[in-house]
Structure 1
Amino acid sequence: MDGEVRRQKILKEIQGSESPVSGTQLARNFEVSRQVIVQDIAVLRAAGNEIVSTCRGYICQGSHRASRVIRVKHTDDEIMEELNTIVDFGGTAEDVFISHNVYGTLRAELGIRTRKQVMDFVEDIKAGQSSPLKNITSGSHFHTISAESEEILDAIEEELRKKHFLDEQETVDGKKEKVV
């Protein structure tokens, strides 16, 4: 198969997938090595395609999606509820990051857009594979969330507010202010 044809098929497969597509799976599907896939992804990115590498595989991040950064705070036991709230409203938790006084910004790509991915993520944490990044900053952390529209992001934010997950500060006049 011609390299350009393969790259277009790879792009179509990633764009059409509801979940991240692993490099190993792409290599198997196109009968090439994993290294060829990595090179193809680099060529596709250079051509302007917004392909993001996550711990679970490649996803396309189209410019048609709205995104925003939110600051949240919750316990370890509430991670699943927080992430399920985001995906249930049609959002994707693109990443998690903290702002640390010594280390600066520490960020991890997530690409979580389904309940199954939420469950897998929480199970990995509970299995002791890692501890949540938020624990470095007493629970306060940020997510970049994306969705098909600003209205969906507004609905996600409102639901997180109702559940007291948004980390907001009061202003002098007593109004709540989102800290971003």
Structure 2
Amino acid sequence: MTGEKRRELIINAIKNSNEPLSGTALGRLANVSRQVVVQDIALLRAQDYPITSTNRGYIFSDTHRFTQIFKVHHSNAQIADELYTIVDQGGTIIDVIINHRVYGKMQAKLNIKNRRDVNNFLNDIKAGKSTPLMNITAGYHFHTVCADSPEILNDIKLALQKKNYLAQVLPYEQQI
């Protein structure tokens, strides 16, 4: 199989998958090593294919959706409710961002699209893989959220507001 055909196979597999595909899984599919897949992904990205790598594998990013960044504040006990609130309204949580006064901006990709993804994230936290990034900034953090329409983003904003999760964006945070 030529490199071009292999990359076509990889992009179609990622586009048509309902879950992230690991480099190893894509390598098995294309009968090449994970390292070859990583190189192919870099070439596909250079050709403007919207491929995002997550901690669970590669996904095809829908670039035609609407996005908004929400600043939120809550306790660790409210993480599940906050994330469920966003996905139940039809949003996808692209990332979490904190703005630390000493370390600056820190960002982690999440790509949480549904309750199963929320539960997997929460299980990873409970298993001790890490602690929530928001703990560094006393519960304050940002989420980039995408949705199919501005109306859905507005519904998410209203739902977060109703639960008192929205926080005021400070002047030095305008560039987030």
How high is the TM-score relative to the length of structure 2?
Answer: 0.91
Matched ranges for 1:101-140 at <5 A? 101-140=101-140
User: Is residue 68 from structure 1 mapped to residue 68 from structure 2 by the alignment?
Assistant: yes
User: Is residue 98 from structure 1 mapped to residue 98 from structure 2 by the alignment?
Assistant: yes
Residues in 2 aligned to 1:30 and 1:114: alpha-carbon distance in whole angstroms: 29
Matched ranges for 1:1-180 at <5 A? 1-168=1-168
Q: CA shift at 1:9, angstroms?
A: 2.0
Worse-superposed segment, 151-160 or 36-45: 151-160
Residues in 2 aligned to 1:136 and 1:82: alpha-carbon distance in whole angstroms: 18
Once the two structures are superposed, what CA deviation does each residue of 1:23-72 show, in whole Å capped at 9, x if it has no partner?
12111222211011101101110001111111111112232111111101
Q: CA shift at 1:19, angstroms?
A: 2.5
Q: CA shift at 1:141, angstroms?
A: 0.1
Q: CA shift at 1:6, angstroms?
A: 1.8
Unmatched segments (≥5 aa) in structure 2? none
Unmatched segments (≥5 aa) in structure 1? 170-178
Q: Secondary structure at the match of 1:168?
A: coil
Worse-superposed segment, 59-68 or 116-125: 59-68
Q: CA shift at 1:87, angstroms?
A: 1.6
How much identity, in percent, do the aligned residues show?
51
> Would the aligned equivalents of 1:19 and 1:114 in 2 still touch at CA under 8 Å?
no
Q: How many residues align?
A: 171
Q: CA shift at 1:16, angstroms?
A: 2.1
Residues in 1 aligned to 2:20 and 2:164: alpha-carbon distance in whole angstroms: 30
Residues in 2 aligned to 1:61 and 1:26: alpha-carbon distance in whole angstroms: 17
Q: CA shift at 1:82, angstroms?
A: 1.1
- Poorly superposed stretches of 4+, deviation over 6 Å: none
Q: Secondary structure at the match of 1:157?
A: helix
Q: Secondary structure at the match of 2:27?
A: helix
Once the two structures are superposed, what CA deviation does each residue of 1:114-152 show, in whole Å capped at 9, x if it has no partner?
211110111111122111100111100001111122121
Partner of 1:175: none
Q: CA shift at 1:77, angstroms?
A: 1.2
